[in-house]
Structure 1
Amino acid sequence: MPHPLATPALASLSRPPVSSILELAQLDSNSFRGESHTGVRRVYGGQTLGQSLLAAGRTIEHEHHPHSLHANFVHPGRSDLPVDYHVERVRDGASFTTRHVRAVQGGRTLLLATASFQRDEEGLRHQDIEPSPVPPLPEDLPHFQDSLTISEAAEANWLPPLMAGVGIEFRFPEEYPRLACRRGENGPPRQRAWIRTLEPLGDERLIHAAGFAYCSDLFLLSATLPPHARHIDTPGLQLASMNHAVWLHAPFRSDEWHLYEQHGYWMGGGRGISTGRLFDRKGTLVASTTQEGLLRFPL
């Protein structure tokens, strides 16, 4: 049965405001500073992704919009210190604009990213993928914490730090594979969740692109683990995101519900690779992601 006390206990947590995280202070024409606004020690990877894309976009003076972000995570960051973003103006073209971003904290490079922007244009369209099976709507699903059994809630010491560290609401159409893995059960390397930012983000298109970049890191690498009945709390696991890519196919609001389907299609050599597909309520593909990460378990 669901744990009746899970919601009040977690409701008291201070959740990070994504709208504030995506407010950058401009230091000069090519440099910006971002804050964390979280109570956890380590910077959430999606924060540096979202802030990097936003910093790059703030240097563009014409109607070009983000369509891709490719990033390499170099060092972990601390949430109690600001992160500075230094933007290199690589190219300003009629159709495409390219920016290179270096995220720095205390003299250490946390992330290197390349962002590409495009002028809106018409062209041929198709998508050869759709959600399968069709999921229940997010309004018909419980908050994740309300779906836990008493025993699951008692063992979910990983959940409060997760919810305190990211300003994202999520609801699972099926059981979250992490729960089955904790029971020692394996399964296919697939998972999906309805996601959105916790609060409205206004109407600026760049903010919503950065908002999804912020959300895109959530759960993604863990999709590689169900075939092995492992989870990211497994004792001795070394876990780190290494590189991450986001493609934005159409404008959308990251503060509205979208279905994020994830597939951990390869694992080996202490690394894993997952892909993600983001669908709107009509099943239209609006964004895609890929992430490679370190998943080193003790032998």
Structure 2
Amino acid sequence: MLRTDHEASAPHEALPRLSTLLEMEQLDSMNFRTRPPAREEARTFGGEVFAQAVVASCRTVPADRAIHSAHGHFLRAGDPAAPVHYRAAVVRDGRSFSVRTVEAVQHGRTVLLLTASFHVPEPGFSHQALLPDGPAPEQLPSARSAFAASHPVDRAWLEDLQQRRSLEFRFPEELPRLAARRGERRSPRQHVWLRTTDTLAQDRVTQTGALAYVSDALLLSTALAPHSGIMTEGGLSFASLDHTMWFHAPHRLDEWLLYEQESDWAGGGRALCQGRMYDLEGRLLATVAQEGLLRPST
């Protein structure tokens, strides 16, 4: 189980950039290793390990095949101060599809197990969900402006979140987190425009990894909205259990995308959340599903 996006943070000057996190040393055709920067975190962000495993899998297939799905199971908390060894294996190479498994290993133990599938693009039927109605990101105030009148704890959380993830956010409506601060409940859904503040290589693999990285941002917190809960306020146990992503279209993360998030169910100490990512033209880029541990601490 890996941490979500809401735990205590290190000083900003020690924070790695997204571009650094997506760089890995390739040991051979099926093995990769990260070079972790010095930082002070209790556990690794789940989106980081998921994204690195996706990147590793992409580097093992022919160039004519693009990833269309990735399914990750988080098994243990990662150590942010130690390198991660990604061991890929070939499951199948067919005429149109390839399948890989990737095992993320630290200290001799598996942190994440990923299965990824790749497809040679071909013509077929086409339809998609529609971009939700709402203002474009350029019509919205900056996230800092939107949080200007909020509690100092929430302003600090936002500042750290943007710095830590190398991201800029814009919010079409008030986040449920701010309503929860007033003791109010909200429906389990939220929307956020986001883009990276880092300079990323424009190759397909790097941009795919970046999209996988941001897919874990804020998602599990959606399930707390009906319960007036705040991740960082204590009294909660939470962690990502598994994470699935379907890739529909390529996207450059230095351009805005809308992340629509909702939670259809929570119970038994777990919550299920779903997400859809759209570009400015309304093209559906990816669909996401995550189950997480979410319960009051005992």
Q: Give TM-score, length-normalised by structure 2.
A: 0.90
CA contact (8 A) 1:40 1:161 kept: no
Letter in 1 for 2:220: L
**Alpha carbons of structure 1 residues 159 and 14: separation in structure 2 relative to 1, 3 Å:** farther
Question: C-alpha displacement at 1:66, in angstroms?
Answer: 0.7
Question: Aligned runs of 1:124-163 on 2, under 5 Å?
Answer: 124-127=125-128, 129-132=129-132, 134-154=133-153, 156-163=155-162
Letter in 2 for 1:74: L
Question: C-alpha displacement at 1:190, in angstroms?
Answer: 0.3
CA contact (8 A) 1:14 1:164 kept: no
Question: C-alpha displacement at 1:97, in angstroms?
Answer: 0.7
Question: C-alpha displacement at 1:145, in angstroms?
Answer: 2.3
Partner of 1:23: 23
**Alpha carbons of structure 1 residues 157 and 253: separation in structure 2 relative to 1, 3 Å:** closer
CA contact (8 A) 1:249 1:285 kept: yes
After superposition, give the CA deviation of every residue in 1:166-225 in whole Å (9 maximum; x if it has no partner).
Answer: 222221111111111122100100001011222232221121111100010000011111
After superposition, give the CA deviation of every residue in 1:7-64 in whole Å (9 maximum; x if it has no partner).
Answer: xxxx975653111211110122211012444734121111111100110111113410
Partner of 2:33: 33
Give me the CA root mean square deviation: 1.9
Please identify, of 86-95 and 145-154, the stretch whose mean Cα deviation from structure 2 is larger. 145-154
**Alpha carbons of structure 1 residues 191 and 126: separation in structure 2 relative to 1, 3 Å:** same
CA contact (8 A) 2:150 2:178 kept: no
* In structure 2, distance between residues paired with 1:103 and 1:21: 14
Partner of 2:284: 285
Please identify, of 63-72 and 169-178, the stretch whose mean Cα deviation from structure 2 is larger. 169-178
Letter in 1 for 2:145: D
**Alpha carbons of structure 1 residues 151 and 191: separation in structure 2 relative to 1, 3 Å:** closer
Partner of 2:7: none
Identity of aligned residues (%): 44
Question: C-alpha displacement at 1:160, in angstroms?
Answer: 4.7
User: Are 1:82 and 2:78 an aligned pair?
Assistant: no
Partner of 2:200: 201
User: Are 1:168 and 2:144 an aligned pair?
Assistant: no
Question: Aligned runs of 1:1-299 on 2, under 5 Å?
Answer: 15-37=15-37, 39-41=39-41, 42-127=43-128, 129-132=129-132, 134-154=133-153, 156-298=155-297
* In structure 2, distance between residues paired with 1:277 and 1:91: 28
Question: C-alpha displacement at 1:161, in angstroms?
Answer: 4.2
* In structure 2, distance between residues paired with 1:174 and 1:39: 33
After superposition, give the CA deviation of every residue in 1:111-166 in whole Å (9 maximum; x if it has no partner).
Answer: 00001111111111011x2233x222222223322322345235544345434432
* In structure 2, distance between residues paired with 1:51 and 1:262: 23
Letter in 2 for 1:44: F
SS at match of 1:239: strand
Stretches of structure 1 that go unaligned for 5 or more consecutive residues are 1-10
CA contact (8 A) 1:44 1:166 kept: no
CA contact (8 A) 2:25 2:35 kept: no
CA contact (8 A) 1:40 1:164 kept: no
* In structure 1, distance between residues paired with 2:98 and 2:85: 22
SS at match of 1:246: strand
* In structure 2, distance between residues paired with 1:142 and 1:274: 27
Question: C-alpha displacement at 1:289, in angstroms?
Answer: 0.1
SS at match of 1:209: helix
